[in-house]
Chains A and B, each alone.
Chain A
Amino acid sequence: MATGIKDKVAILGMGCSKFGERWDAGSQELMAEAFEEALADAGIERKQIDAAWLGSCMDAVNIGNSAIPASTALRLNGIPFSRVENMCATGTEALRGAAYAVASGAVDIAMAIGAEKLKDTGYGGLPPPFKGTFNDMWMPMASAPAGFAQLADGYRAKYGISKEDLKRAIAHVSWKSHQNGVHSPKAHFQKAVSMETIMNAPMISDPLGLFDCSGVSDGSACAIVTTPEIARALGKKELVTVKSLQLSISSGQETAMNAWDGSYVPNTRNAAARAYKEAGISNPREQISLTEVHDCFSITELVTMEDLFLSEDGQAVRDYLDGVYDASGRIPCQIDGGLKCFGHPIGASGLRMAYEIYTQLLGRAGARQLKAPSLGLTHNLGGVPYLGIAGISILGLL
């Protein structure tokens, strides 16, 4: 009987590039930035890395297929190096590959690196998606915000919430992240924004305005993992270990059957239930210190709090307006600014979230440091709420 990977994998070092409109850097430079920091933090040489995983998502504007662009950029010669892609869960997927390699005993030290260069498109927002030769035949050519905006209708209908109340609650989601971004030196956006500005921003996809959408940024993040034993042997005293790493992917039930009411994301619930079980968490509301969740759009974050069982169903609007997820709240969310302000270079995002949790757990977060966190959760949502990928990691002090 499988027992999961709880505490079998320790983080030896992490790195994260400055996120933003990095006109100065391509994916190669961004990766080098994150890699050098992670290597220094781990206190090892690159030749000690036994295997590596690269997460990179968009083909249209990036480094191209395979892990070769990464092995070349980082000069990691001759080791097993794989490129993985699972939409917005790509970074978490890379971490999963590295963690599983260590947990299985196949290697001693593994690396996960995620990178995305989005600002080579020539325009704002993500490139239009290619959904596959068959799906492109029938699926609407809608943008990512249009996919996530569907949640608003479903959520409002289920809980009888007015358009105005929901708009205010999701505006609070973004407001809170902008407040946090101010203290996040590597974040893309480090400026507070008023509720009024958020509420009155131009509409992107009803009800999501400009400030309900995350930043489109360039960036890279990197994790080097090993076993707790090796980490200690290498001189690490305070260890952050992986408590759980779970993915859940839709088989199309939400879109093709009528059980789903459009108010929640079944994949997040599946992945969360499994992640809590793997980590031995019985009461997430009490046990989770902080979260970095997939706030690609404000409505996503709001619904995610219920899907992670941190808010009661139908109560996320109230919880947000009550400040439960603010920096000073019970379970701070996006203390580094989240996708909204730190930025969302797709392949890097899962690892960026892990970087913040790791940083917070080790007490290195400077002006945004939370008081004695012990367990942090990362959450990615790839694809769209009704046909997607949820990736969750829980990291904690050993």
Chain B
Amino acid sequence: MSDFGITGYGAYVPRLRIERGIIAEAHKWMAPGLKGQAKGSRAFCSWDEDAITMAVEAARDALTGGTVAGVKAVYLASTTMPYADLQNAAIVAGAISAPEGIASSDIGHSQRAGTSGLLQALKAGEEALFIASDAPVGKPASTQEISYGAGAAAFTLGSQGVIARLVGKASVTETFVDHFRATGQKYEYVWEERWVRDEGYAKLAPAAIKAALADAGIGIEGVTHFAMPSMLRAVAEAVAKSVKFGGNIVSGLENGVGYAGAAHAALQLALALETAKPGEKILVLGFGQGADALIFEVSEAIAALPRRRGVSGAVADALATDSYMRMLSFAEGIELEWGMRAERSGKTQLTEQNRSAFQLEAFNAGQCAACETIQFPQFQFCVKCQAPRKQFRQVPLADQPARVLTSTADWLSYYPAPPLYCGFVQFDNGARLLMEMVDVGPKGIERGEALRMVYRIKERDRVRGYNRYFWKTTPVAAG
């Protein structure tokens, strides 16, 4: 058996949630039938979240107690990458301080990207970080809008401390077009659910499962956890039944997350790993123009894995929101009147971005070797003793504990999620800077409140289609 596999996992789900009843209520005048799907809540991206930012947060969770130093490749799987020609995985790699010599690649174009990508990375057999991150967007008043969600899961792969080994695998490829979204199209086009269920999931998934079981040399009774993502309700249960699976069907995360596209299988695998015991096997499926089936065997090392947020932690870290219009606006489903202030140019000087990447990408403060002051941003001379910058030691701030020193809620600035909370953030290590504070609940934010850093879109340049990313801060305790 190969001594290579998953060595850690992590997850992220946007804090923002909305009860599906609120979505159904908004569309009741023209689609009263949505009420039947109005169960539980779904996650949605804030205006400054996307597949890249969620990937960074999931990767950071996966690296809990570990280091990115040994990683040789970063893979990002998604169907909602912000860029068509600009490697999304490279932006993620920069944010997590991945070593300079790493390989990186994007995998997309199918709901199956999450499992296909993971399979590729496992086959490659070198230390890697694999992330699946997706925020599929449904057309307003569609079944997709109400059932979809957003999230990301990440896995570290390697040979040291393997918690789950791939023991069986199979893929089936068929151009079964249950839905599609052409390049440049905002929304997908979806065929009848009953046909997708009966001719798609019900036929392709069992074929892949059967082949994977054969590859692993086991029967279905050898599998403990069955993780199958589906855009449609109750499909996983039906497929499990058809292959005579009698064990644990991993939650479809319908409540609190919603169907998270290419990231969904990865989220379910991460969720299964939270409770799986050594020796147990997890079957993970991916569906889209065929199917992937991956069978993992959990190893003893899982007991020693440092505690992390994981899927359960991310789902629990919720901020309930009350307005369908907010979600619609964040998803760019409606053009609101933001006033003339919104006309401000959001252009990014790519030259400056490149020059300042050493401190902005991974949020590095500089520590002066002469007086030890930790400072951000890093200008040419130490803020305290004026010693030159070239002797600064780089101190990443992303995981440093910090608190609110001062703050305000700004209703005047153009901001896509008003009010704009901003204020001074005081790090325990002495660094201090003015930061944007996001995902603040209705109670607001108070001096002394504990904060954590999050990677977000700093500026959306809608004219040129460029997102500029930077770090923001959010209360440790949601809501």
Contact = CB atoms under 8 A, between A and B. Distances in A.
A262 B432 CA distance: 12
Interface residues of B, number: 48
Interface residues of A, number: 41
A392 B194 CA distance: 77
A121 interface: yes
Interface stretch (B90-98, B185-193, B322-330, B420-428): B420-428
A142 B420 contact: yes
Interface in B362-420: 373, 375-377, 379, 383-384, 405-415, 419-420
A153 B420 contact: no
Contacts of A123: 339-341
Contacts of B412: 125, 143, 145-146, 204-205
B447 interface: yes
A128 B341 contact: yes
A137 to B, nearest CB: 6
Contacts of B430: 257-258
B200 to A, nearest CB: 46
A154 interface: yes
Interface stretch (A247-255, A303-311, A336-344): A247-255
Contacts of B447: 153, 157
B340 A140 contact: no
A257 B432 contact: yes
A238 to B, nearest CB: 44
A140 B468 contact: no
B2 interface: no
Interface string A94-137: 00000000000000000000000000011101011000011011
Contacts of B375: 256-257
Interface-central residue, B349, B410, B419, B470, by most chain A CB under 10 Å:
B410
A296 B280 CA distance: 66
Contacts of B406: 150-154, 262
A258 B420 contact: no
Nearest to A384: B434
Contacts of A234: none
Given A138-B458, A146-B422, A256-B433, A251 B383 contact: yes
B436 interface: yes
Interface stretch (B166-174, B265-273, B312-320, B352-360): B352-360
Contacts of A257: 373, 375, 383-384, 430, 432
Given A205-B408, A257-B383, A128 B434 contact: no
B376 A121 contact: no
Nearest to A135: B377
A348 B179 CA distance: 62
B414 A128 contact: yes
Contacts of A125: 341, 412
A386 B423 CA distance: 11
B459 interface: yes
Given A128-B344, A137-B356, A256-B432, A143 B423 contact: no
B384 A154 contact: no
Given A128-B341, A143-B410, A146-B410, A255 B432 contact: yes
A255 B422 contact: no
A252 B383 contact: yes
Contacts of A141: 344, 413-415, 420, 436, 459
A150 B423 contact: yes
A217 to B, nearest CB: 17
Contact of A262 (B352, B353, B405, B444): B405
A255 B424 CA distance: 8
Contacts of A151: 406
A250 to B, nearest CB: 10
B348 to A, nearest CB: 8
B434 A139 contact: yes
A38 interface: no
A72 to B, nearest CB: 28
A133 B341 contact: no
A139 B422 CA distance: 10
Nearest to A125: B412
Contacts of B26: none
Nearest to B410: A146
A356 to B, nearest CB: 28
Given A138-B360, A140-B436, A141-B420, A253 B383 contact: yes
Interface in A221-258: 251-253, 255-258
A342 B459 CA distance: 36
B413 A137 contact: no
A149 to B, nearest CB: 4
B413 A146 contact: yes
B435 interface: yes
Interface string A7-46: 0000000000000000000000000000000000000000
Nearest to A128: B344
A155 to B, nearest CB: 9
Contacts of B408: 142, 145-146, 149-150, 152-153, 205-208
Of the candidates B379, B406, B426, the one having the most CB atoms from chain A within 10 angstroms of its own CB is: B406
Contacts of B424: 150, 255, 262, 386
A133 B352 contact: yes
Contact of B360 (A137, A150, A252, A262): A137
A206 B373 CA distance: 32
Nearest to B359: A138
A398 interface: no
B226 to A, nearest CB: 46
A203 interface: yes
Nearest to A141: B413
B361 to A, nearest CB: 10
Contact of B405 (A139, A153, A208): A153
A140 B412 CA distance: 13
A125 B414 CA distance: 12
A251 to B, nearest CB: 7
A138 B377 contact: yes
Given A255-B432, A256-B376, A257-B432, A140 B383 contact: no
Contacts of A202: 411
A391 B411 CA distance: 29
B410 A142 contact: yes
B340 A121 contact: yes
Interface string A314-349: 000000000000000000000000000000000000
A246 to B, nearest CB: 23
A262 B434 CA distance: 12
Given A133-B352, A153-B447, A140 B377 contact: no
Interface of B: 339-341, 344, 348-349, 352-353, 355-356, 360, 373, 375-377, 379, 383-384, 405-415, 419-420, 422-424, 426, 430-436, 444, 447, 458-459, 468, 470
18 contacts: A122-B340, A125-B341, A134-B352, A137-B458, A141-B420, A143-B413, A146-B408, A150-B408, A152-B406, A153-B405, A203-B411, A204-B412, A205-B411, A206-B408, A208-B408, A256-B376, A256-B432, A257-B383
A-B complex: 7 closest residue pairs judged by Cβ atoms: A146-B410, A149-B408, A153-B406, A140-B422, A143-B412, A150-B406, A140-B436
Given A137-B360, A138-B433, A150-B434, 19 more contacts: A123-B340, A125-B412, A127-B341, A128-B341, A134-B352, A137-B458, A140-B420, A141-B414, A141-B420, A150-B423, A151-B406, A152-B408, A202-B411, A255-B432, A255-B433, A256-B433, A257-B373, A257-B375, A262-B405
